[in-house]
């Protein structure tokens, strides 16, 4: 608990220092984005749970750095064994609780994220970015909307142009998970690998295999396939739709998303 809290505040402090450095930059850029993310599944509990996650994200870019704040709204129906951790629903309860699902809605956990571009495709061999994130426990844990604890982590995101219009994507993340009283949640290592294809000048299709270890020992690990179709409206904005298919009991059976972004 104390280790997670210290990690959270340390990462948040580093992001604030990075943001302060950007105050003198001349080419600042901002992006606002939001989406509707719906997921449904039983997660091995025998009772179907569903969630609607609506994040509102403000992101700032400067030189090779970026930082963002996400304020989400969450509506979730579950039997008490499934909750949202870092923007994704997952099973953290054990045993049989109830066969009836109850719906709760409210503010989700705030997410602060920062990144630094270590390498860029031209003239470097590929894109490589270091990212850090902190989850602040603003969601109501009594309603099952969060764990009530800080989480903090870091990761590497990479992309490599392998042919005209084709980009290979691979990401690795590690998150220190805070455990609420009565639960012993495991820290989480996650990875995804996939490919992005430029269909036409304005349209890009991305397919990703995503996986991680389970938060609770003995439960099935999340593993899923995600597809995203991005449409670029102009230099400032774009829209996207996405779909997810769960490949294990640790993931939702399916998920749908729709969103957009505006840069200014």
| pLDDT single digits (tens) 140-198 | 998 889 999 999 999 999 999 999 999 999 999 999 999 999 899 999 999 999 999 99
Instruction: Examine residue 163 and state whether it is found in any structural domain, yes or no.
Output: yes
Instruction: Report whether pLDDT(47) > 70.
Output: yes
Number of separate domains in the chain: 1
Instruction: Give CA–CA dist 82/47, Å, rounded.
Output: 10
* Of the candidate ranges 35-44, 121-130, 132-141, 187-196, the one whose mean pLDDT is the lowest: 121-130
Q: Sign of dihedral through CA atoms 197, 198, 200, 205?
A: positive
The CA distances from residue 59 to 116, 153, 182, 247, 257, in Å, are 13, 18, 36, 32, 20
Which whole number is the average pLDDT over 200-206? 96
Instruction: Tell me what the pLDDT averaged over the chain comes to.
Output: 89
Instruction: Examine residue 140 and state whether it is found in any structural domain, yes or no.
Output: yes
* Of the candidate ranges 83-92, 209-218, 254-263, the one whose mean pLDDT is the lowest: 83-92
Question: CA nearest 67: which of 116, 104, 25?
Answer: 116
Q: Please list, residue by residue across 160-179, b when 16 or more beta carbons sit within 10 angstroms of its beta carbon and e when fewer do.
A: eeeeeeebebbbebebbbbb
Instruction: Examine residue 261 and state whether it is found in any structural domain, yes or no.
Output: no
Instruction: Examine residue 85 and state whether it is found in any structural domain, yes or no.
Output: yes
Instruction: Examine residue 87 and state whether it is found in any structural domain, yes or no.
Output: yes
| 256 CB-side CA count, 13 A | 1
Instruction: Give CA–CA dist 213/186, Å, rounded.
Output: 8
Which whole number is the average pLDDT over 72-77? 96
What is the domain extent for residue 35?
2-256
Instruction: Examine residue 264 and state whether it is found in any structural domain, yes or no.
Output: no
Q: Please list, residue by residue across 70-98, b when 16 or more beta carbons sit within 10 angstroms of its beta carbon and e when fewer do.
A: bbbebbbbbbbbbbbbbbbbbbbbeeeee
pLDDT at residue 124, rounded to an integer: 72
Instruction: Examine residue 228 and state whether it is found in any structural domain, yes or no.
Output: yes
Instruction: Examine residue 113 and state whether it is found in any structural domain, yes or no.
Output: yes
**What CATH number should be reported for the domain holding residue 39?**
2.40.160.40
């Amino acid at each position: 608990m104390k280790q997670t809290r210290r990690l959270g505040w340390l990462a948040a402090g580093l992001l604030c220092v990075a943001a302060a450095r950007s105050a003198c930059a001349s080419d600042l850029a901002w992006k606002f984005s939001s989406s509707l993310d719906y997921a449904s599944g039983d997660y091995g509990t025998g009772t179907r749970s569903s969630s609607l996650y609506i994040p509102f994200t403000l992101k700032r870019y400067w030189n090779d750095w970026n930082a963002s704040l996400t304020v989400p709204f969450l509506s979730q129906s579950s039997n008490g064994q499934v909750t949202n951790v870092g923007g994704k629903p997952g099973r953290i309860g054990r045993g049989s609780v109830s066969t009836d699902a109850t719906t709760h809605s409210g503010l989700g956990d705030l997410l602060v994220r920062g990144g630094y571009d270590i390498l860029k495709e031209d003239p470097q061999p590929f894109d490589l970015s270091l990212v850090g994130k902190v989850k602040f426990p603003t969601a109501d844990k009594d309603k099952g909307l969060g764990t009530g604890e800080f989480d903090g982590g870091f990761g590497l995101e990479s992309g490599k142009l392998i042919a005209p219009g084709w980009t290979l994507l691979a990401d690795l993340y590690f998150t220190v998970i805070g455990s609420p009283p009565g639960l012993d949640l495991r820290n989480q290592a996650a990875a995804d690998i996939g490919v992005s294809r430029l269909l036409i000048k304005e349209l890009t299709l991305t397919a990703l295999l995503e996986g991680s270890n389970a938060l609770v020992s003995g439960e099935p690990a999340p593993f899923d396939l995600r597809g995203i179709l991005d449409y670029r409206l102009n230099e400032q904005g774009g829209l996207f739709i996405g779909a997810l298919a769960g490949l294990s009991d640790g993931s939702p059976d399916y998920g749908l998303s729709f969103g957009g972004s505006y840069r200014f």
